[in-house]
Structure 1
Amino acid sequence: MSQARADDYAQFAVARAGHLYRSACLLTAGDTHLAEDLVQETLGRLYVRWARVSRAENPAGYAQTVLTRTFLAHQRRRSSTERATDVLPEHAAEGGPGDVPLRLTLLQALAGLPAKDRAVVVLRYWEDRSVEETADALNSSSAAVRTRCTRALGRLRALLGEDLGEYATS
Structure 2
Amino acid sequence: MAHGEVLEFEEYVRARQDALLRSARRLVPDPTDAQDLLQTALVRTYHRWDGIADKRLADAYLRRVMINTRTEWWRSRRLEEIPTEQLPERRVEDATAQHADRALLIEALKKLAPKQRSVVVLRHWEQMSTEETAAALGMSAGTVKSTLHRALARLRQELESHDREGHGEEREERERCAA
TM over 0.5: yes
Question: Displacement, 1:74?
Answer: 2.5
**Residue in structure 1 matched with residue 117 of structure 2 by the alignment:** 118
Judging changes above 3 Å, is the alpha-carbon distance between structure 1 residues 57 and 81 closer, same or farther for their aligned structure 2 residues?
same
Q: CA RMSD in A?
A: 2.9
**Residue in structure 1 matched with residue 93 of structure 2 by the alignment:** 92
Q: What are the ranges of 5 or more consecutive residues in structure 1 without an aligned counterpart?
A: none
Judging changes above 3 Å, is the alpha-carbon distance between structure 1 residues 90 and 37 closer, same or farther for their aligned structure 2 residues?
farther
Question: Displacement, 1:111?
Answer: 0.7
Count of residue correspondences: 157
**Residue in structure 1 matched with residue 171 of structure 2 by the alignment:** none
**Residue in structure 2 matched with residue 150 of structure 1 by the alignment:** 149
CA distance in 2, matches of 1:80, 1:91: 25
CA distance in 2, matches of 1:82, 1:20: 28
Q: Deviations over 1:130-149 (max 9, x none)?
A: 22221222222221111110
**Larger C-alpha radius of gyration, 1 or 2?**
2
Q: Which residue identity does 1:33 align to in structure 2?
A: T
CA distance in 2, matches of 1:55, 1:134: 18
Is the 8 Å Cα contact of residues 21 and 34 (structure 2) preserved in structure 1? yes
Q: Deviations over 1:89-124 (max 9, x none)?
A: 9873678xx922111111111111111110010011
CA distance in 2, matches of 1:81, 1:130: 34
CA distance in 2, matches of 1:80, 1:61: 27
More helix per residue: 1 or 2? 2
If asked which structure has higher relative contact order (CA below 8 Å, sep 6+), I would say 1
CA distance in 2, matches of 1:152, 1:65: 19
Q: Which residue identity does 1:58 align to in structure 2?
A: L
Judging changes above 3 Å, is the alpha-carbon distance between structure 1 residues 138 and 39 closer, same or farther for their aligned structure 2 residues?
same
Q: What are the ranges of 5 or more consecutive residues in structure 2 without an aligned counterpart?
A: 83-89, 167-179
Is the 8 Å Cα contact of residues 24 and 38 (structure 2) preserved in structure 1? yes
Q: TM-score, normalised by structure 2?
A: 0.75
CA distance in 2, matches of 1:61, 1:145: 16
What percent identity do the matched residue pairs reach? 34
Partner of 1:128, secondary structure, is: coil
Judging changes above 3 Å, is the alpha-carbon distance between structure 1 residues 80 and 41 closer, same or farther for their aligned structure 2 residues?
farther
**Residue in structure 1 matched with residue 77 of structure 2 by the alignment:** 79
1:45 aligns with 2:44: yes
CA distance in 2, matches of 1:83, 1:62: 30
Is the 8 Å Cα contact of residues 46 and 53 (structure 1) preserved in structure 2? no
Question: Displacement, 1:157?
Answer: 0.8
CA distance in 1, matches of 2:157, 2:36: 31
Is the 8 Å Cα contact of residues 27 and 118 (structure 2) preserved in structure 1? yes
**Residue in structure 1 matched with residue 9 of structure 2 by the alignment:** 9
